[in-house]
């Protein structure tokens, strides 16, 4: 079946386009899924306050999402979202190279985040999301507040 005249064919998000340069390819290959600089900064602050947590945990079978910090007994999960990958409205940007593919990819990431939040909330979890650019001390304060801990 051919697409209607004037309409672009759908983007296949399972196949990433080639990197626009060797520099971009190297940057994306270095990007880790866990233990990012913002995550480590928050974890250090929480640990210094005596707060213990689980890292990179899938909270339930109903979602494939893995929380950056998880307290299963208390049903609290924290995600520290990267500004690029989760389309931060403050500092995220839309790439110009392969823009159509990236636009679809980043929108799909945001939609997946909202679905994850909905699933976890329906299961009784308290979902806390923070952006990587947020002050780690303020993030730690908010998490401690959710845990019922004072400084």
Tens digit of each residue's pLDDT (9 = 90 or more) over 10-56? 777 666 666 556 665 556 565 666 789 999 999 999 999 999 999 99
Segments making up each domain of the chain, as ranges: 31-147
| Overall average pLDDT of the 131-145 stretch | 97
Specify the fold of 31-147.
Answer: Endonuclease; Chain A (3.40.960)
Looking at per-residue pLDDT, the higher value among 3 and 100 belongs to 100
Q: 44 with 36: CB under 8 angstroms? A: no
Tens digit of each residue's pLDDT (9 = 90 or more) over 42-91? 999 999 999 999 999 999 999 999 999 999 999 999 999 999 889 999 98
Number of H helices, E strands in the chain: 4, 4
Residues facing residue 129 across a β-bridge: 79
Instruction: Write down the residue that tokens 């780690």 correspond to.
Output: 136
Q: What is the mean pLDDT of the chain?
A: 86
Give the span between the Cα atoms of 73 and 52, in whole angstroms.
12
Residues facing residue 78 across a β-bridge: 69, 128
């Amino acid at each position: 079946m051919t697409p209607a005249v004037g309409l672009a064919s759908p983007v296949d998000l399972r196949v990433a386009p080639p990197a626009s340069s060797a520099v971009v390819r190297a940057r994306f290959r270095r990007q880790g899924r866990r233990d990012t600089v913002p995550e480590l900064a928050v974890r250090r602050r929480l640990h210094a306050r005596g707060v213990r947590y689980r890292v990179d945990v899938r909270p339930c079978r109903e979602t494939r999402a893995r929380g950056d910090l998880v307290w299963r007994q208390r049903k609290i999960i924290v995600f520290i979202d990267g500004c690029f990958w989760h389309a931060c409205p403050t500092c995220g940007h839309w790439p110009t190279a392969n823009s159509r593919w990236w636009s679809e990819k980043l929108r799909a990431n945001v939609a997946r985040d909202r679905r994850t939040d909905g699933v976890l909330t329906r299961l009784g979890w308290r979902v806390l999301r923070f952006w990587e650019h947020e002050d780690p001390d303020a993030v730690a304060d908010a998490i401690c507040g959710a845990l019922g801990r004072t400084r």
